[in-house]
Amino acid sequence: MSGSVALVRIQSHQRSYMASEKLVFTVTNSLNKPIATLNQRTYCSTIVLEKQTETDWQPVSNCTSNSPSLEVTIKADSRTTVELAPGPHALGNMPTGNYRAKLVFTVGDHFMPADTQQVFSEIFAVQ
């Protein structure tokens, strides 16, 4: 684990959610530099949800917006709350199962695809 990854975290606010419930996460950037990511991921947010299968993790790609992805900067030494809920550009309730949240980011003001790092939340359930 690189030093940057050790100082960036994503945490679910609950260990279990109902399928129709809003999922809430906190992204903590403890670096003394900003981090950059992209939106248009799960529920058109900066978070990628991954559903556990028998053999691996599959991303939940349910953003139906036709807008291009935009950079999102998370300030140095900050916490950001991200809420995932169905909306006008996202498909209905989450299927039941085990999930984790992933944040793909780069250190600095601009997202650089060649230099990405990623962090994962603990596993949580959707019932």
Kind and range of the H or E element at 4?
helix 3-6
Record the pTM: 0.89
Q: Domain extents for the chain?
A: 3-126
Contact 13, 32 (CB under 8 A): no
Round to the nearest angstrom and report the end-to-end CA distance of the chain.
32
Q: Please report, rounded to a whole number, the percentage of residues in the chain having pLDDT higher than 70.
A: 91
**Tens-place pLDDT, residues 17-35:** 988 888 999 999 999 999 9
pLDDT for 86 equals: 63
User: What is the topology classification, in CATH, of domain 3-126?
Assistant: Immunoglobulin-like (2.60.40)
DSSP calls for 51-109:
EE-SSSEEE---B---SPP-EEEE-TTEEEEEEE---TTB-SSPPSEEEEEEEEEEESS
d(CA 26, CA 21): 16
